[in-house]
Amino acid sequence: MENYDIISLFNHSSSISQRKENTLSEKRRDNKNRILRENELQKPDGRYEYRYVGADGVRRSVYSWRLTTTDKTPSGKRDKPPLRRMEEEITKDLMDGLAAQADDLTVYDLCEKYFLTKINVTKNTQAQYKTVLNVLRKHPFGKRKIKTVRTMEAKEFLIRLQQDEHRGYSSIHNIRGVLRPAFQMATENDLIRKNPFEFQLADTLINDSVKRQAVTKKQMRQFLAFVRQEAPEYWEAIYILFHTGLRISEFCGLTLSDLDLRNKKLKVDYQLQRDCDGTLYVIDGNLKESTKTPEGVRTLPLTDEVVNAFKAVIKRRECKIEPSVDGYTGFIWLNPRARKGLRPMVGMDWEHIFKRLVNKYNSIYRVQLPTITPHVCRHTYSTIMAVTGVSPKTLQYLMGHSDISVTLNVYTHIGFEDAANELKKLHTGTYGF
């Protein structure tokens, strides 16, 4: 690592092992039931510890028997300042160090420091940050002093990425998604006067990204009929995806304990993710430390058809030794063909299955199917529910969205055919799938 200060301005870095430890506890509290801040913990012997990254980039810890000034030092123990007073002093020292080097701080340096503040994010997000750092490391813009960057230069940088390096809109959106908060961090700490990335990306670049589209009910039925004939082992799973609107990570995270088929209910509170290096991990939406919105935790009602599909899957499920991920077992969807033994299926597995089935369909039939993925199933479910009269608030709940605008503007694709069918329903009363 280069020899410059590594500053965490808000929540200083803690170890990956500690993050996992925190994830498994419902609430991080001390023995007096006080909520601990990020990077604070209490040792088994009662001492408090605060972990941070020093000015030299080395991870350090300070300890105290007291959390606040009102606490008393246990008899026979060395008296030290309260932990939170020590935290304030450490933060001030780090801030002074950052301000001292502001004149020489480059765009790359700033983004690396911002990256170090984002310790409570998923592994995939961490990988995304590292990708952005790699771009800035190689690009001349990354060597620019932050005090010299104006809005015009910021826009020109993103435009060159699209026009000269032929990067897609979504890729540039991710890069700007790191640069803007990084420069905002510098602004809030008086290192620069104005954030040069405070502009609308859509007003600067051509949005060449392909929007995900729902398929029609006819296409859905054609695809499901084909799967039932050509790959019956996947039919129930794909039917469930089309008729529940689950995110693929939610779908893969389902365990046997989440199902209440007698009462036709499904609990959604886990997500199974795959790291860029292939490691599986679980995000538990019930935990305070979860990166997911609380709206994602929900209980879904199930139709009789979906219940029957789950029953069929469970009936033929064979598993002598249950695979475990972060202490969670009983995953419904298992991949017996995995090279390293039986493991839960992840989103990438289903992406490959869908692609293979759609390609096979299109190689047989003259009328082609569009691209169908697990996420297209979710879009299709949302759209069908919307056009059949489900209220926006109900649909928001079913989809697990925190913002209803996402439900209405992103996940519903209503066109002429849907509008025409709506008029027909006024006279026929026909609803549903």
Of 129, 239, 361, 411, the catalytic one is 411
Nearest to 358 by CA among 255, 171, 220, 195: 220
Of 113, 167, 292, 379, the catalytic one is 292
Q: Rounded to whole angstroms, how far apart are CA atoms 393 and 396?
A: 5
Work out the end-to-end distance of the chain between its first and last CA atoms, rounded to an integer number of angstroms. 57
- Number of continuous H segments (helices) and E segments (strands) in the chain: 15, 10
Catalytic residue list contains 173: no
Q: Rounded to whole angstroms, how far apart are CA atoms 254 and 246?
A: 10
Catalytic residue list contains 375: yes
- Please name the amino acid found at residue 106: T
15: which 2 tokens? 């170890």
Nearest to 111 by CA among 179, 199, 161, 53: 179
- Coil, helix or strand for 60? strand
138 Cβ neighbours under 8 A, 6+ residues apart: none
Of 28, 176, 378, 413, the catalytic one is 378
Measured in degrees and rounded to the nearest 5, phi and psi for residue 161 equal: -60, -40
Of 37, 212, 360, 375, the catalytic one is 375
Nearest to 3 by CA among 58, 51, 52: 58
Of 247, 343, 379, 413, the catalytic one is 247
* Residue whose pair of structure tokens reads 């009602």 in the numeric block: 301
Catalytic residue list contains 145: no
- Please name the amino acid found at residue 116: L
Of 66, 379, 401, 413, the catalytic one is 401
- Coil, helix or strand for 48? strand
Helix (H) or strand (E) holding 84: helix 83-100
Catalytic residue list contains 247: yes
Residues known to be catalytic? 247, 292, 375, 378, 401, 411
